Amino acid sequence: MISTSSNISTSAKSISPANTACTACTNEYCLIKKNINSSVVAKFTEHRKQIRCKKGQQFIMEGAPVTGLFFVLKGRVKVLRTGLLGKEQIVRFAKEGEIIGHRGFGTGEFYSISAVALEDCTLCYFSKEDVQAILQKEPALTYDLMLFYANELNNSEAKVKSLSQMTVRERVIDTLLYVNRKFGQQSGFISLLLSRREYADYAGTTEEQIIRVFSALKKEKLITTKGKRIGIINNSLLKLEISEHNFYLDS
DNA sequence: CCATTAAGAGTGT
DNA sequence: ACACTCTTAATGG
């Protein structure tokens, strides 16, 4: 994808000009950015740290003590819980502007989830103490966070239902629609690259089942695949198939 | 640039 | 779940 010219980029990455202030941030979905006009929030953001994360890198470890809160500035992330025999259950996927690690607040001393970068990411980090202080002082921000929590709860309830009441095929379709809705398509394929294994970990099945359902859907001309890439051909038919479970949408 | 290897996608049992 | 083939991506000269 990238041209063959080699040594130009080597020096660039060690420089860190990019601790751009939140005021200059282009990320309109971020709760902090949304409330940046408050002077209290603006001051709070001075303590922000920016972290770069390579693809595959884990930046929150389940069971580790809670130290702070992450916002995704750029890139995509998977949030997961590890089950009994190291089997991982992907709880959700996150993109720009989303919050990771928010459950550790209040009584929680330890992270209940792990988070790993699906692509090269840059994250914004705030310490637990800073976040707790700002939430006491800034109702508008706290309210926005509460809305986020409510939405998260709705999603997780929907997920319980999908895992307990849907067939494998329906869960796979549900997963495809979710990822497609959230990340969209680019030139006919879902813009987020996931392995079959990761689809399985989200849908609560095995890799083999995912592959089989995918090839069935492919035969039925509902989707198309090219390597890891998945394209949705007939969105409305797919929706129809799970409509009796009336999933109401999460973003 | 090509050759070798490793990783992941598919399929049958 | 396992074994196997086939395809694609990564590595190294």
> What pLDDT is recorded for position A29?
85
The protein footprint on chain C, as nucleotides within 7 A of a CB, is: 1-3, 7-9
Query: Which nucleotide has the shortest C1'-to-CA distance from A208?
Result: B10
Q: Could you tell me which residue, A11 or A129, shows the higher pLDDT?
A: A129
| Higher pLDDT, residue A70 or A8 | A70
Q: For strand C, is any atom closer than 7 Å to the CB of A206? A: yes
Whether CB of A208 is under 7 Å from strand C: the answer is yes
Q: What Å value separates CA A208 and C1' B10? A: 9
Whether A17 CB is under 7 Å from strand C = no
Report the distance separating Cα A121 and Cα A12, nearest Å.
16
Region A61-78 average pLDDT: 95
Closest amino acid to nucleotide B8 (CA–C1') = A195
Angle in degrees, 0-180, between the axes of helices A235-242 and A168-183, rounded to the nearest 10 = 130
- pLDDT tens for each residue of A26-63: 888 899 999 999 999 999 999 999 999 999 999 999 99
Q: What is the pLDDT of residues A100-128, one digit of tens each?
A: 999 887 777 999 999 999 999 999 999 99
pLDDT band for A5, please (50, 70, 90 cuts): very low
Nucleotides of B under 7 A from a protein CB: 8-12
A106 touches strand C (CB under 7 A): no
A9-13, A65-69, A100-104, A127-131, range with the lowest pLDDT: A9-13
Task: Return the pLDDT at A3.
Answer: 38
A247: left (phi over 0), alpha (psi -120 to 50) or beta: beta
Q: Which residue has the higher pLDDT, A77 or A18?
A: A77
DSSP track, chain A: ---S--TTTTTTTT-------GGG---TT-HHHHTTTSHHHHHHGGG-EEEEE-TT-EEE-TTSBP-EEEEEEES-EEEEEE-TTS-EEEEEEE-TT-EESGGGSTT--B-SSEEEESS-EEEEEEEHHHHHHHHHH-HHHHHHHHHHHHHHHHHHHHHHHHHHHS-HHHHHHHHHHHHHHHH-EETTEESS---HHHHHHHHTS-HHHHHHHHHHHHHTTSEEEETTEEEES-HHHHHHHHGGG------
Mean pLDDT of the region A61-69? 94
Residue A227 beta carbon within 7 A of nucleic strand C: yes
Estimate in Å the CA A229 to C1' C13 gap, whole number: 31
> What is the spatial distance, in angstroms and rounded to an integer, between the CA atom of A193 and the C1' atom of C9?
14
Percentage of chain A surpassing pLDDT 90? 79
pLDDT at A84 over 90: no
Return the closest nucleotide (C1') to the Cα of A205. Answer: C1
Instruction: Provide, in whole angstroms, the distance separating residue A119's CA from nucleotide C13's C1'.
Output: 29
Query: How far: A133 CA to C1 C1' (Å)?
Result: 52
- Better-predicted residue by pLDDT, A27 or A145: A145
* Domains of chain A and any CATH numbers: 13-159 (2.60.120.10), 166-245 (1.10.10.10)
pLDDT band of A69, cuts 50, 70, 90: very high
pLDDT in tens, A193-242: 999 999 999 999 999 999 999 999 999 999 999 999 999 999 999 999 99
Report CA(A230)–C1'(B12) in Å, whole number. Answer: 24
